[in-house]
Chains A and B, each alone.
Chain A
Amino acid sequence: MFSKWLGKNPGALARFRVRVRDLNKVPQADWNKKQFRYLKGHKQLAEIKWKWSAREWRGFGYFDVEGYFVIVMGCTHKENYDPLNCLDTAARRMREALTGEWEIKSYEP
């Protein structure tokens, strides 16, 4: 789902690839809040952030037990989230993914 959505925006996809690969090269303790942060009020839910074309792009997800980051939702942000309810949807999808209701596919940007 996420890969399809991001695939429609090649520039954002390229920026995401570089961001993820760079994050992967350094210890998590060195990650900047501008790149990755846990969301307040949403246990476990975090977002990877990057910019492209004067917009902020977000990938919401969580770390599974093996340490993989499971992305459950993508959205953009410029004044408001687009889609507006993406945080709630991401939180719901995370709960559903944790209870095995979603098939998780491996994805490398």
Chain B
Amino acid sequence: MSLEQLIKSLDSVEYRQGFVEGHAKDTIAFQIKQLRKAEGWDQKKLAEVAFGRPALQPMVSRYENPDYGKYSITTLLELAAAFDVALVVRFAPFSELVEWDVYSTEKTLRPPKYSQDVALSRMAACDQKRPPVDILGPMKLDADRSTGFLGRGKPTDGHQGSKEGAA
């Protein structure tokens, strides 16, 4: 199926649901297994590292079943901590999922752990060459707004005169 055909298939609500469900359930299950194997661990060892109890091996076996899909965010966080990788759980546009569907590989199923994440050092190196960017800018703006709202200082972002600012 070409990319164009895939995008056309997404016109169907049922296809979209299956596509999202498939990626949510399959990807996690495949990733758990691939990440575990990359560590050279058996399921018992992962149960011990992630949950502190080797006896929970049957749970790991369930998690590696792509039809299971009943993970809690807490469990996923424990697994992410065990593998020392990040966890991203969020709603996203379909375009992002299509990109993952089309371009993900065995390698992307097995993200590097923090200590081996060379992209991080590359990002840091690139950032040093760029003019400084105030990444806290929007947050500071919000902080200013709340200060203005609470009347503990002068609003500085145009809120002066608004109902909120006046209150």
Contact = CB atoms under 8 A, between A and B. Distances in A.
Interface of A: 9-15, 17-19, 21-22, 25-26, 30, 32, 34-35, 50-52, 108-109
A10 B22 contact: no
Contact of A18 (B23, B33, B37): B23
Which range holds the interface residue count of chain B?
Answer: 20 to 34
B30 A22 contact: yes
A10 B67 contact: no
A10 B27 contact: no
16 contacts: A9-B14, A10-B12, A10-B15, A11-B18, A13-B18, A14-B14, A14-B16, A15-B22, A17-B101, A22-B27, A22-B109, A25-B106, A30-B34, A32-B64, A34-B65, A34-B67
B72 to A, nearest CB: 20
B106 A26 contact: yes
B33 A15 contact: no
Given A14-B18, A15-B18, A25-B109, 5 more contacts: A14-B21, A18-B18, A25-B106, A26-B106, A34-B66
